Amino acid sequence: MRFASRKTGVAAAMIGISALALSACGQAPEESIADADNSDYIGCIVSDSGGFDDQSFNESSHRGLKNAEADLGIQTREAESKSNADFATNLQGMMNAGCDMTVTIGFLLGDATEEAAAANPDNHFAIVDFQYEEPIENVKPIIYDTAQAAYLAGYVAAATSKTGTVATFGGIKIPTVTIFMDGFADGVAKYNEDKGEDVQLLGWNKEQQDGTFTGDFEKQDRGKQVTETFLSQGADIVMPVAGPVGRGAGAALNEAAAAGQDVKLIWVDSDGFETAPDYKDIMLTSVIKTMDTAVEEVITQDVAGNFDATPYVGTLKNTGVDIAPFHNFDSEVSDETKAEVEALKQAIISGDLVVESDASPN
C-alpha cells in the first residue's frame, strides 16, 4: 500500500461541508431532499477489516450511511470486509448492486477504491481517511487534520498524569495513524515547555517517526500486551490509535484500575465514553472525527446531484475534529488546564498556532 500525499490540491479545500440551500431567492421553497422520493437511490458502504462494530471509524462512518437512509429515504447496501483480500470483491458486489455512491472506509482501501472508480466511471465514490496524489473525478476524499485535536489531548494527558509518563501506540504505521501520534506528542511537548515539566511519552518519537505498532487493526491481545508493557514502564494514560485493537488497551487498563491503579484511556475517532462503554470508567477524553456527519452530508449532496471530488477536510475550525468532554473525569481536569486547552484550541482555529505533521492535509 502506497502512502498517498495529503498536500496536493487541499489548500483550496479547507472548508467544511455546508448545508444544501435548496430554495431560490424570491420564490417559494422547493421540495427538500428529505421530502423528495429518493427510493431509487442506492447508497453503499464497504468497511475495512475492522468491521462495522469496531467502536471506531468504521462504526461512525456506517452510522452516517444509516442516518442518510433514515433522513433521505434512500436504499442502502453494505459489505463488511473480514480481511484486506475482501476489498475488491466487496466493491464489485456494490457495483453489481447498482450503487449510486459507495463509501469506502480507511487508508487500506485506497488502491481497491481507485481501481473500482476507474472501472466504473459513471459511479460515485467517497473514501474516508485517504486522498490520492492526483484527484480522481468520481472519488471524493473525506479526510481529517486529527493532529489538531490530538494536540489538545496530549496537553490534557500531560497535565493530568500522576506518574509523569503517558503513552500512545498505533495499529499500522500509516499516515492516518501517525497523524494522531504526532499531534499527541506535540501536545505533551507543549505542556512541558509551558510548565517547565518533563512528562515522558512512550510509544512514539515524532522526530524519528518511530514508535510502537501492533501490525494490524484486529488483534486485541496484542493491544493488551503493549499496554501492559507501558504500564510496567510507569505510564498511567494510554492513547491507542488502532481501531478494534484499542479494546485490548481498554481491557488492560480496566484490569489495572480494578487492581487499584489510577489509569486512564484516551479513545480516538469517536467519543469512546458513548461508543465504547466498557471502558467509560477509565475514559479521560477522545480525539473525535465526525465521520457520521461527513458521510451523510456527502451522500446528501450526491442525492441532490451536487457531487464533486473536492476533498472534505475536517478541522477544529469546522468542527470536523475535536476532543470529547471529560465526562467522569471532569473534576480531575483543573479549571486552569481547561482554560489553557481552550486557549490552545482557539489559537489553532485562528491560525496563530500551527500543529504540524507530515500527514496533515495542508
The answer as to whether 21 is a domain residue is: yes
The stretches of 196-289 forming alpha helices (DSSP H) are: 220-232, 246-258, 272-275
User: Is the pLDDT assigned to residue 39 strictly greater than 90?
Assistant: yes
Instruction: State whether 38 and 119 are in the same domain.
Output: yes
Q: Tens digit of pLDDT for each residue in 57-75?
A: 889 899 999 999 999 999 9
Distance CA 352, CA 346 (A): 9
Q: How high is the pLDDT of residue 321?
A: 96
Instruction: State whether 74 and 186 are in the same domain.
Output: no
Distance CA 289, CA 32 (A): 27
Instruction: State whether 340 and 199 are in the same domain.
Output: yes
Which residues make Cβ contacts (< 8 Å) with residue 278, sequence separation at least 6? Answer: 247, 250, 254
- Hey, what amino acid is at 60? S
Q: How high is the pLDDT of residue 22?
A: 31
Instruction: State whether 104 and 153 are in the same domain.
Output: no
Instruction: State whether 280 and 298 are in the same domain.
Output: no
Which pLDDT band, with edges at 50, 70 and 90, does 362 fall under? low
The answer as to whether 362 is a domain residue is: no
CA-wise closest residue to 178 among 350, 6, 351, 352: 6
Per-residue b/e over 137-151, b at no fewer than 16 CB within 10 Å? Answer: ebbbbbbbbbbbbbb
DSSP string, 185-215: HHHHHHHHHHHT---EEESEETTTTEE-B-S
Task: Tell me the percentage of the chain whose pLDDT exceeds 70.
Answer: 91
C-beta separation of 138 from 123 below 8 A: yes
Rounded to two decimals, the pTM is: 0.80
Instruction: State whether 150 and 257 are in the same domain.
Output: yes
User: Is the pLDDT assigned to residue 5 strictly greater than 50?
Assistant: no
Instruction: State whether 57 and 159 are in the same domain.
Output: no
State the residue range of the domain holding 275: 146-289+326-350
Determine how β-strand 200-202 pairs with β-strand 165-170.
parallel
The answer as to whether 251 is a domain residue is: yes
Collapsed DSSP state (helix, strand, coil) of residue 261: coil
- What's 278's domain CATH number? 3.40.50.2300
Instruction: State whether 306 and 269 are in the same domain.
Output: no
The answer as to whether 355 is a domain residue is: no
The answer as to whether 320 is a domain residue is: no
List the single range of 119-123, 284-288, 357-361 with lowest mean pLDDT. 357-361
Tell me the C-alpha to C-alpha distance, in Å, between residue 323 and each of 64, 243, 320.
19, 17, 11
The answer as to whether 169 is a domain residue is: yes
Mean of the per-residue pLDDT values of the chain? 90
The answer as to whether 334 is a domain residue is: yes
Instruction: State whether 104 and 170 are in the same domain.
Output: no
CA-wise closest residue to 155 among 359, 353, 291: 353
Could you give the angle at the alpha carbon of 287 between the alpha carbons of 144 and 302, nearest 5°?
A: 35
Instruction: State whether 34 and 130 are in the same domain.
Output: yes
Q: How high is the pLDDT of residue 32?
A: 66
Which pLDDT band, with edges at 50, 70 and 90, does 56 fall under? confident
- Hey, what amino acid is at 143? I
Distance CA 162, CA 43 (A): 48
- Counted domains in the chain: 2
Name the grid cell of 154: 496530549
Sign of CA dihedral 72, 273, 214, 208: positive
Instruction: State whether 301 and 283 are in the same domain.
Output: no
Instruction: State whether 50 and 89 are in the same domain.
Output: yes
